[in-house]
């Protein structure tokens, strides 16, 4: 996705304390005296890009107490401060161009107290998601498991959203239910989750993950959710063998990623392997037995006739990092394992480290070139000896450089290195360590930098 700057966000605060004016404090007991409101606003373009991890600009956000002249504008870090506010109870709201389809969803907080000190309001605002297009539905059977597959096309493939699949018995969706929620472009809904044999209508919404509870009504508000995008026709839900009649099976969806942000066009060919660790049967001798399946074009797989037991399960594909889960119990019915895998990242190139200054502060600028045209995350390390295996983690970014202050670094010569990663990790329950299967080797700058005392 192209990183862009977004400025001019307006945030409005609604003052609801009856009769509260600038003449004096009007709040509840304990809030006598003028108060201050301060905080930080994070601006999101989608569920991945925001003003903390990309060039989305948090500056220019207006903070306003409705009905008063109190306001402030956020700085380059998204921070703001409003002082000398009369004490009171407020509903505080944040929005940008909420009346526009291109704007940001409104968020608010009720029962917000101001008075006698500093009150903090930090929040996230996200752009309203556009509904997906080309909603497709078809019946599908995966090794005897009947169901419906719903697919869609993102409005903008460069943006990442969360999608919710809805179904209803009427095409007007007056009474709708949730069938699935995911970040991909399709979902398989087993028949047992739907009214089998009946005609059902499907629709999909997109959102950017912002929600809050409206305490006046008790309902959850999702201000970035798009309008419903409906399939053109209804579909009859297939019937088949009830899920409880299976001896045992394992099913799920594996999402493949080309880099840290883009899904792979080809979701097929991921091998899913079950390895026995403990079989719950005295009559079965299944040491070192494997049960395996492979994903289809939709990223779905189904492994049938698996004996009841405790397994480890892996998902792998050539060129991709392998992910593993231990202690997957398989019993009567279907057990589910879904995961994400991503291509193994190549190491960055042309890593350099130089002493410099930034806004009057001294430190080290570490820079590098991307290994390819993909979008990755980069992890920065330092060490006194690149052969010792002892390294110190300094931070990560999706950009191509970082600035590290001298403060906190040990005195003496240090090498700085960078590793590329596509954001896949899991906990190895045998060792208790996190595994990063897509992370590259660390590429070190050729020369050490002397850190002054």
Per-residue pLDDT of 238-292, as tens digits, reads 886 544 444 578 888 898 999 988 888 888 999 999 887 543 333 334 444 578 8
Q: Which of 81-95, 257-271, 367-381 has the highest mean pLDDT?
A: 367-381
Residue 220 sits in a domain whose CATH number is 2.60.40.10
Question: Is residue 217 domain-shared with residue 305, that is, in the same domain?
Answer: no
pLDDT in tens, 389-406: 889 888 888 888 888 888
Residue 420, token pair as written in the block:
């590329």
Least confident of 101-105, 201-205, 416-420: 101-105
Share of the chain above pLDDT 70, in %: 86
Share of the chain above pLDDT 90, in %: 30
Question: Is residue 422 domain-shared with residue 406, that is, in the same domain?
Answer: yes
Question: Is residue 72 domain-shared with residue 147, that is, in the same domain?
Answer: no
Whether 438 has a pLDDT exceeding 90, the answer reads yes
Question: Is residue 338 domain-shared with residue 362, that is, in the same domain?
Answer: no
Given a contact cutoff of 8 angstroms between Cβ atoms, the answer to whether 428 and 438 are in contact is: no
Question: Is residue 30 domain-shared with residue 105, that is, in the same domain?
Answer: yes
Whether the predicted model's global pTM rises above the 0.75 cut: no
Q: From the CB of residue 246, how many other CB atoms can be counted at a distance below 10 Å?
A: 18
The residue among 315 and 61 whose pLDDT is bigger is 315
Size of the chain in residues:
453
Task: Give the closest residue to 442 by CA, choosing from 376, 347, 319.
Answer: 347
Question: Is residue 260 domain-shared with residue 328, that is, in the same domain?
Answer: yes
Given a contact cutoff of 8 angstroms between Cβ atoms, the answer to whether 80 and 41 are in contact is: yes
168 band by pLDDT with thresholds 50, 70 and 90 = very high
How far CA 227 is from CA of 130, 132, 223, 445, in Å, comes to 8, 9, 11, 50
The residue among 318 and 280 whose pLDDT is bigger is 318
Give pLDDT, residue 241: 53
Residue span of the structural domain in which 115 resides = 10-126
Q: Which residue among 236, 265, 292 closes a domain?
A: 236
How many structural domains are present in the chain?
4
Question: Is residue 97 domain-shared with residue 149, that is, in the same domain?
Answer: no
Is the residue at 78 inside a domain? yes
Whether 13 has a pLDDT exceeding 60, the answer reads no
Is the residue at 302 inside a domain? yes
SS3 of 192, please?
Answer: helix
The residue among 6 and 126 whose pLDDT is bigger is 126
- Name residues whose C-beta falls within 8 Å of residue 244's C-beta, 6 or more positions apart in sequence: 332, 333
* Residue 180 to residue 137: CA distance in whole angstroms: 14
- Name residues whose C-beta falls within 8 Å of residue 401's C-beta, 6 or more positions apart in sequence: 365, 366, 367, 368
The three-point CA angle 192-197-200 to 5° equals 85
pLDDT in tens, 45-57: 998 888 888 888 8
Least confident of 27-41, 68-82, 213-227, 407-421: 27-41
Give pLDDT, residue 15: 30
Place of tokens 């709040």: 27
The residue among 111 and 16 whose pLDDT is bigger is 111
Give pLDDT, residue 9: 28
Is the residue at 4 inside a domain? no
Residue 40, token pair as written in the block:
């930080």
Is the residue at 80 inside a domain? yes
Q: Write the DSSP symbol of residue 296.
A: -
Given a contact cutoff of 8 angstroms between Cβ atoms, the answer to whether 415 and 386 are in contact is: yes
Given a contact cutoff of 8 angstroms between Cβ atoms, the answer to whether 200 and 235 are in contact is: yes
Q: Which residue among 109, 126, 143 closes a domain?
A: 126
- Name residues whose C-beta falls within 8 Å of residue 269's C-beta, 6 or more positions apart in sequence: 294, 295, 317
Instruction: Work out the average pLDDT over 311-328.
Output: 90
Give pLDDT, residue 359: 79
Question: Is residue 200 domain-shared with residue 151, that is, in the same domain?
Answer: yes
Give pLDDT, residue 346: 96
Q: Which residue among 289, 321, 342 closes a domain?
A: 342
Residue 252 sits in a domain whose CATH number is 2.60.40.1120
Is the residue at 34 inside a domain? yes
Question: Is residue 353 domain-shared with residue 338, that is, in the same domain?
Answer: no
Whether 441 has a pLDDT exceeding 70, the answer reads yes
Is the residue at 79 inside a domain? yes
Given a contact cutoff of 8 angstroms between Cβ atoms, the answer to whether 132 and 229 are in contact is: yes
Question: Is residue 114 domain-shared with residue 23, that is, in the same domain?
Answer: yes
Give pLDDT, residue 335: 81
Give pLDDT, residue 333: 66
Burial class (CB in 10 A: 0-12, 13-18, 19+), 309: buried
Instruction: Work out the average pLDDT over 151-172.
Output: 91
* Residue 198 to residue 169: CA distance in whole angstroms: 8
Residue 292, token pair as written in the block:
């395996």
pLDDT in tens, 410-423: 889 999 999 999 98
Give pLDDT, residue 16: 30
* Residue 415 to residue 388: CA distance in whole angstroms: 12
Question: Is residue 14 domain-shared with residue 121, that is, in the same domain?
Answer: yes
* Residue 309 to residue 330: CA distance in whole angstroms: 5
* Residue 405 to residue 365: CA distance in whole angstroms: 9
Question: Is residue 335 domain-shared with residue 361, that is, in the same domain?
Answer: no
Is the residue at 1 inside a domain? no
Consecutive H or E run containing 312: strand 309-316
Place of tokens 């018995």: 169
The residue among 355 and 240 whose pLDDT is bigger is 355
Is the residue at 252 inside a domain? yes
């Amino acid at each position: 996705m192209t990183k862009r700057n977004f400025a001019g966000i307006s945030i409005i605060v609604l003052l609801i304390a009856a009769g509260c004016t600038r003449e004096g404090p009007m709040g509840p007991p304990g809030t006598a005296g003028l108060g201050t409101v301060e905080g930080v606003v994070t601006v999101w373009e989608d569920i991945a890009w925001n003003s903390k991890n990309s060039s989305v600009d948090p500056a220019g956000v207006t903070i306003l107490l409705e009905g008063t002249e109190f306001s402030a504008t956020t700085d380059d870090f998204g921070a703001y401060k409003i002082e000398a506010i009369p004490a009171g109870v407020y509903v505080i709201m944040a929005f940008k161009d909420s009346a526009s389809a291109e704007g940001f969803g409104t968020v608010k907080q009720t029962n917000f107290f101001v008075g006698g000190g500093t009150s903090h309001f930090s929040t996230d605002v996200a752009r309203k998601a556009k509904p997906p297009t080309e909603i497709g539905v078809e019946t599908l059977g995966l090794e005897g498991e009947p169901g419906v597959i719903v697919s869609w096309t993102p409005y903008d493939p460069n943006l990442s959203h969360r999608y919710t699949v809805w179904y209803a018995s009427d095409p007007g969706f007056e009474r709708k239910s949730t069938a699935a929620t995911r970040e991909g472009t399709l979902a398989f809904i087993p028949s047992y989750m739907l009214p089998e044999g009946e005609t059902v209508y499907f629709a999909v919404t997109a959102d950017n993950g912002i929600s809050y509870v409206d305490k006046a009504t008790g309902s959850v508000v999702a201000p970035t959710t798009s309008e419903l995008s409906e399939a053109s026709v209804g579909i009859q839900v297939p019937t088949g063998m009830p899920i409880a009649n299976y001896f045992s099976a394992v099913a799920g969806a594996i999402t493949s990623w080309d880099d840290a942000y883009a899904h792979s066009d080809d979701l097929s060919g991921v091998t899913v392997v079950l390895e026995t660790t403990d079989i719950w049967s005295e009559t079965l001798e299944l040491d070192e037995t494997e049960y395996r399946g492979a994903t289809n074009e939709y990223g779905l797989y189904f492994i049938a006739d698996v004996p009841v037991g405790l397994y480890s399960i892996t998902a792998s594909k050539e060129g991709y990092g392998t992910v593993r889960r231990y202690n997957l119990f398989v019993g009567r019915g279907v057990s589910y394992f879904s995961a994400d895998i991503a291509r193994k990242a190549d190491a960055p190139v042309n890593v350099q480290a130089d002493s410099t200054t930034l806004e009057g502060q001294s430190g080290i600028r570490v820079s590098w070139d991307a290994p390819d045209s993909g979008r990755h995350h980069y992890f920065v390390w330092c060490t006194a000896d690149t052969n010792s295996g002892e390294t110190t983690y300094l931070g990560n970014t999706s950009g191509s450089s970082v600035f590290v202050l001298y403060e906190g670094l040990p005195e003496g010569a240090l090498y700085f290195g960078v590793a590329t990663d596509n954001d896949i990790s899991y906990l190895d329950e045998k060792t208790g360590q996190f595994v990063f299967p897509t992370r590259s080797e660390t590429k070190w700058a050729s020369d050490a930098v002397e850190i002054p005392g």
